[in-house]
Structure 1
Amino acid sequence: MGIAALASELLELATKLHRLIPPRPGETQKVEQLRERRFRELLKHAAAKSPFYQRRFAGLDLETCALSDLPVLTKAEMMANLDDVFTDRALKRVDLENFMADHANIGVYYQGKYAPCHTSGSQGQPAIVVQDKHAIFTSFAAQFARGNKIKRRFLPHIGRLVNPARMVVITQRPGFYPSSTFFNYFPRVARPYIEVQQLSVFDPPDEIARRLNEFQPTFITGYTSSLEYLAREEETGKLQLKAGGKLEQMNSMSEPLPEATAARLEKTFGVHVTNSYSMAECMALSCGCPVRRGSHLNTDLAILEVVDSEYRPVPPGTPGSKVLVTNLYNLVQPIIRYEIDDIVTMSPEPCGCGNALPLVASVAGRAKDQLWIEMDGRVRDLPIYVFLAALDGDPNIGEHQVLQTGLNAFRLCAAPQPGKTLSAEHIKSLVQDSLQAEGLGGVIDLEIEIVDRILPDNAGKVRRAKNLFGPPPSEIPPNAERVIA
């Protein structure tokens, strides 16, 4: 990248950071006006550039229509019409799938300008989401302007070239899933101001502890189960992060953060633990509050409708049955009133931190049963992502469910998309390859069952992971160490 391009990116990032400083009380009208302008621009751009939305918005006055006048978009509908959804007519689903199938492309912009990713399919069929560089910069700037305490380290200040912030990310190994994508496309112009280390939940525990002790991060983000593991290591003295005095904040993502877990983490490390609510379809949907529990909805970047089962809005303080998400900053793949089966509760009161943006008080419906294995005399959580990463390799899968049926025994139920067929042997091979890549080859007894559909539970939701066997043993042999990888 040339000097002129780097200068342009630095200016864009600095400008976005400045504009995304959290609004204070009294500035809400300005935010609402900005949201309305972006909403109308999104509708007109989608109708002009996307054949799918041209058909969808036919007969609507896009200058005056209400949000509720627009039809709801499902994941299945978006994926069935993906080529027509894109506003860049050169984008094709098959080309994107081929691009993401090659892990040598991780961190590489498709056609030099697009960052693709695929969802895990934790609530059903996986989806492909494409953003351009400007959208990636927006997501990045929103997180570091509003979601944590190290935002000032991104200002072009010469002192930070000497003493940059240090971030550790504990997820899976790099891939095209959303949380990895965010860091795969970490803006080059920000790298002098922050050092990033990526660790896998399947790295050896001793290796994780050693690297963290040496690195002494300023900020840690990871799955809740990963942060719980770090707390146990800190309590035993294997980790020395609190004593190091560098850690400023931790962030939980992708898994629920129970209050008891958050309290334990904060007591152990002496720092605030944030939790953010977002998804691949809208990575900048919210930012975890750096003062209290919950996350602030970025209403200038997205619209979140919390609705009941009939798509009627529910008031703050009342859990909805689902949400509808409209992404206001991704013009390449318009996502408008996109349905997600999350049970979200908005806070009826303003947040005490002073940020005027609405507060997402709680998110339910994504919690998974704890899956676990015994390996080398130790009990380990088994993140469902090791299955999901494999299932993305078969585009004919419509739905799935992972069941723990015994000690290190699992059954994966898969239902095909309409008109498609599935091969149990092929799916099993994909999962075994994924397990092997994570150092779990030969550990799991896996059964694949092809079914017509995955039935919902009594609450009307399909649980993508269920433990039919039971919790981990309460007593571990004295010479065995209980760890969560």
Structure 2
Amino acid sequence: MIISVLQKRHTLRGHDRLLPEQIQRIQHRKLAELRQFAYSRSGFYQQFHKGLFDKPLSELPSLSKSDYLAHFNEISTDSRLRLHALESYMKQMAVDDLYLGRYWLMSTSGSTGKNAVFVYDKTEWAVALASYMCCNDFAGVKTNFFGKTRLAIIGSKTPWHQSARVGHDMAVRTVPRLRLDATDPVRENIDRLNEFQPTVFVTYPSVMEQILEELRLGRVQFKPLAVLLTAEPSSPALRQEMSARWGVEGFDCYGATETGVIAAECAAHKGLHVRDDLLIVENVDEKNQPVPPGELGSKILVTSLFSRTLPLIRYEITDCVRFSRSRCECGRPYGLIEEIQGRRADFLRFPAPDGSRVTVHPNTFKSLLEPEAVEAWQVIQRSDGLHLRLARPRAGFSPDRLETKIQNELARQGSVSQKISIEIMDEIPRGPTGKLLLIVNQNNTSV
């Protein structure tokens, strides 16, 4: 696998030296190949795009996450891939398991609280991994394969999470690597990082804020040479404090389980370069009308030019982004995203027995609630405790068992006991942008 990834990375590096019009020609060719494949192999697209086979991309209907899940079996170009069977398999899956010996399975709850399964074959996964390696290239991070690079990652270790699969499959024996879980108590992770002494550190911005809080308290004894921030938008304040305390500027990498890397930041820090050679990313409003550069959109429609197992054509990702009106001074031929909103989940703080406060990452609640027999969920922190909204629980759900699980995990992380209330409802209200916020902080305590 690693040889295939390095070969595809070499190809992607070559695209960095092309002109924008050459990238457009690559898009045009790859889009034609994708559509031809989808129309010949996917029963869903044969009907979904019926009468539109020769129409431009902008005139095709978009594919929502709910439609993707409802028509998963018909979208698939391999008749052996059936959603129910994949979901059952993933419950017992190890991080190095391949479905049918050839497919990488991943899942995300996204903004709806409903798991969506995505499948990569060897070629598709090699492209996705190469796109992640190019984040390092954009940031100027050079990997020394003889022990000088020490890589630490705090993300998810859940086998079906993309960050876990990337971390596992990109491991190189000669590069010391430490993988930690964002749901573990932050001080346990700090102790392991202090011992490991990473030179390159990859994590979520919300975890980085936890690290900086511990740094202010004098508990952090490591100083990386490079920091890559993934999965969530980073704030200017976070980056400024990283620069002031460590002398390094973080680099944002914007990716999705559905697509791999969507965009990544270079050393000029003028925005995130869109992977226009692998994807077509349309910034649109609520009615799927184009949003011009400089204006904030309501969602993006992503066409994955390398997807074949489950072709994704104008797939909706409900992130609000703003494209830049200008190109980057680095000379790369890709479009720039200058702002991303909407993917950041709040992390919550709780009182500890000694009067201090402990910070709990939102992934903690995802790991507790996603296995529950409910259609959707939301955690709200208020001054009087935690309020859980649960939609349409199924047979076997136990509120008392769930409350005990949450209390035990909060105690493990160092919190005092919390008052927990559970509200059962048919539908959980969504935010003004149409998103379901999984974690909501209504407490007056500043994070």
Q: Same-fold call, TM > 0.5? A: yes
Residue 99 of structure 1: aligned partner: 89
Q: How many residue pairs were aligned? A: 443
Residue 133 of structure 1: aligned partner: 122
SS of the residue 2:256 aligns to: coil
Q: Of 76, 79, 88, which residue of structure 2 is paired with 1:89?
A: 79
Summarize deviations over 1:148-191 as a string: whole Å, max 9, x none.
446653xxxxxx5433532211124433223223223x14xx51
Summarize deviations over 1:273-315 as a string: whole Å, max 9, x none.
0112221111222223243153211011111111011111011
- Deviation of the 1:231 alpha carbon: 2.4
1:427 to 1:306, Cα distance in 2 relative to 1, 3 A: farther
Summarize deviations over 1:352-382 as a string: whole Å, max 9, x none.
2332211111111233344222234331222
For 1:137 and 1:317, the matched residues in 2 are separated by: 33
Identity of aligned residues (%): 28
- Deviation of the 1:422 alpha carbon: 3.3
For 1:90 and 1:395, the matched residues in 2 are separated by: 26
* Residue type of the alignment partner of 1:229: Q
- 1:382 matches 2:371: no
Q: Of 52, 72, 95, which residue of structure 1 is paired with 2:62?
A: 72
- 1:43 matches 2:24: no
For 1:145 and 1:284, the matched residues in 2 are separated by: 9
User: After superposition, where does 1:348-359 map in structure 2 within 5 Å?
Assistant: 348-359=325-336
Q: Of 210, 218, 225, which residue of structure 2 is paired with 1:229?
A: 210
The list of structure 1 runs, each at least 4 consecutive aligned residues, that deviate by more than 6 angstroms after superposition, is none
> Conserved in 1, the CA contact under 8 Å of 2:99 and 2:105?
yes
1:428 to 1:37, Cα distance in 2 relative to 1, 3 A: farther
> Conserved in 1, the CA contact under 8 Å of 2:378 and 2:390?
yes
Q: Of 289, 293, 305, which residue of structure 2 is paired with 1:312?
A: 289
Residue 176 of structure 1: aligned partner: 160
- Deviation of the 1:461 alpha carbon: 4.2
1:443 to 1:334, Cα distance in 2 relative to 1, 3 A: farther
- 1:464 matches 2:438: yes
- Deviation of the 1:433 alpha carbon: 4.4
* Residue type of the alignment partner of 1:273: G
* Residue type of the alignment partner of 1:308: D
User: After superposition, where does 1:318-337 map in structure 2 within 5 Å?
Assistant: 318-337=295-314
For 1:29 and 1:390, the matched residues in 2 are separated by: 48
User: After superposition, where does 1:10-29 map in structure 2 within 5 Å?
Assistant: 10-21=2-13, 23-24=15-16, 27-29=19-21
1:338 to 1:432, Cα distance in 2 relative to 1, 3 A: farther
User: After superposition, where does 1:67-466 map in structure 2 within 5 Å?
Assistant: 67-103=57-93, 105-148=94-137, 149=139, 152-153=142-143, 160-163=144-147, 165-184=149-168, 186-187=169-170, 191-242=172-223, 247-292=224-269, 294-377=271-354, 378-394=356-372, 397=375, 399-406=376-383, 409-416=385-392, 422=394, 425-426=397-398, 429=401, 433=405, 436=408, 439-440=412-413, 443-466=417-440
1:431 to 1:365, Cα distance in 2 relative to 1, 3 A: farther
For 1:223 and 1:315, the matched residues in 2 are separated by: 29
Pairwise CA RMSD: 2.7
Q: Please report the TM-score for the alignment, with normalisation by the length of structure 1.
A: 0.83
Structure 1 unmatched runs, 5+: 1-8, 154-159, 474-485
Structure 2 unmatched runs, 5+: none
For 1:183 and 1:462, the matched residues in 2 are separated by: 28
Stretch of structure 1 that moved more, 41-50 or 118-127: 118-127
- Deviation of the 1:426 alpha carbon: 3.9
> Conserved in 1, the CA contact under 8 Å of 2:132 and 2:260?
no
- Deviation of the 1:395 alpha carbon: 6.8
> Conserved in 2, the CA contact under 8 Å of 1:307 and 1:320?
yes
For 1:89 and 1:350, the matched residues in 2 are separated by: 43
Residue 58 of structure 1: aligned partner: 50
1:170 to 1:469, Cα distance in 2 relative to 1, 3 A: same
- Deviation of the 1:261 alpha carbon: 1.0
* Residue type of the alignment partner of 1:143: Y
SS of the residue 2:80 aligns to: coil
Residue 3 of structure 1: aligned partner: none
* Residue type of the alignment partner of 1:171: G
> Conserved in 1, the CA contact under 8 Å of 2:327 and 2:336?
yes
Q: Please report the TM-score for the alignment, with normalisation by the length of structure 2.
A: 0.89
For 1:469 and 1:143, the matched residues in 2 are separated by: 36
For 2:74 and 2:390, the matched residues in 1 are separated by: 28
1:447 to 1:213, Cα distance in 2 relative to 1, 3 A: same
> Conserved in 2, the CA contact under 8 Å of 1:147 and 1:288?
no
Residue 482 of structure 1: aligned partner: none
